[in-house]
Amino acid sequence: MSECLRVLTKDIAQWTRVDGVHATPVPRLHLIRSGAPTQEVHAVHEPAICIVLQGAKRVLLGDRVYDYGPTHYLAVSFDLPIVGQITEATLEEPYLCMRLDIEAGQLAELAARLPGDSTHEGDAPGLMLGRTTQEILDAAGRLLSLLETPEDIPVLAPLYERELLYRVLSAPGGRAVARAVLGPGPERHVARAIAWLRERYREPFEMARLSEAARMQPSALHQHFKAITRTSPLQYQKRLRLLEARRLMLFESHSAAEAGFAVGYESPSQFSREYRRAFGNPPMRDIETFEVRMSVAASL
């Protein structure tokens, strides 16, 4: 373990005494800790850079599996429906991670200043792994160090965040992050389609309307959307609906029928069938199983 990695690991452990996702006074910076491996978690992951300092995690996007630990960072360039699972963690050596949410405007300005340009074929991936270089660790350490001097955050946090994003963009494969967020290729049309679906996922799916919003022909949009997100636009919308329905049942005490109707399903049987296909159990059994796991975890 490099000295920088050792110090970062110690610092994150200091600022995360309990398991969970911890917001920090540094804008867009979160620290994550887990003292044990987790069950699979279904979620929509927003654009971010995730740097694991200790332990390991697995992320599933469509048919792709991404395993990563301290030697790699994860870059998420779109709002993507993923399945995440912490695979290596113990009480003595907990899973520790820094997550910096991506601010597209700053990324655009930085990308424009990078010398030259890298050509590519096809779509930039919506999710990618990059090697965590010493330069990335050094920049991450400077950003994290601001938690010790909160009075410096308003002035120095923007500078250190900018440096960290620059190091990611400059590292091998980093250009794909900028391409995915900024375009100007098919990625930008897919980004429009994703934003449109996130705003209107309760409405009946219409490829023609989505294509018009994305400013791309339906066949081309379907092709590029699936290449980037590993799912079709229709399946993406279904996943958004099901995740929101699950949240309503878990945290707002909705019945299965109420949750299904709230997210746009008119048929309870169709909602139950698609929910089971996505999460492995019918709605209420899934919620009961989740609540049991939560109560067991709380008692440990």
Say which CATH topology domain 3-177 has: Jelly Rolls (2.60.120)
From the list 17, 204, 179, the residue with the least C-alpha distance to 104 is 179
Q: Model confidence over 213-237: pLDDT tens digits?
A: 999 999 999 999 998 899 999 999 9
| Alpha helices (H) along 65-173 | 104-113, 134-145, 153-170
**Cis-peptide into 70, omega within 30 deg:** no
pLDDT of 182: 58
Mean predicted lDDT score pLDDT of the chain: 87
Residue 2 has pLDDT above 80, yes or no: no
Asked whether the predicted pLDDT for residue 120 surpasses 60, the reply is no
Question: Could you give the CA distance from residue 36 to residue 110 in angstroms, rounded to a whole number?
Answer: 38
Specify the higher pLDDT residue, 94 or 103: 94
Q: Is 214 exposed, middle or buried (0-12, 13-18, 19+ CB in 10 A)?
A: buried
Output the CA–CA distances (angstroms, integers) from residue 17 to 14, 20, 61, 91, 294, in the order listed: 6, 9, 30, 11, 19
The residue whose two tokens read 């398991």 is 19
* 3-state secondary structure at position 70: coil
Mean pLDDT of 4-11: 88
Residues near 81 by beta carbon (within 8 Å), at least 6 away in sequence: 42, 43, 44, 45, 61, 229, 231, 236, 239, 240, 243
Decide if 74 contacts 68 (C-beta within 8 A).
yes
Query: In percent, how much of the chain has pLDDT > 90?
Result: 63
CA of 243: how far to CAs of 24, 38, 47, 51, 275, in Å? Answer: 26, 18, 18, 25, 9
What percent of the chain stands above pLDDT 70? 87
Residues paired with 82 in a beta bridge: 43
CATH class of 237-300: mainly alpha
* pLDDT bracket for residue 296 (50, 70, 90): very low
Q: What is the DSSP string of 174-201?
A: THHHHHHHH-SSHHHHHHHHHHHHHHHT
In whole angstroms, what is the distance from residue 99 CA to residue 145 CA?
15
Sheet of strand 72-76: strand arrangement: 20-23, 29-34, 95-101, 48-54, 72-76, 127-131
DSSP 138-164: HHHHHHHHGGG-GGGHHHHHHHHHHHH
pTM for this structure? 0.84
Chain segment 159-199, per-residue pLDDT in tens: 999 999 888 888 776 766 766 665 557 888 898 999 999 99
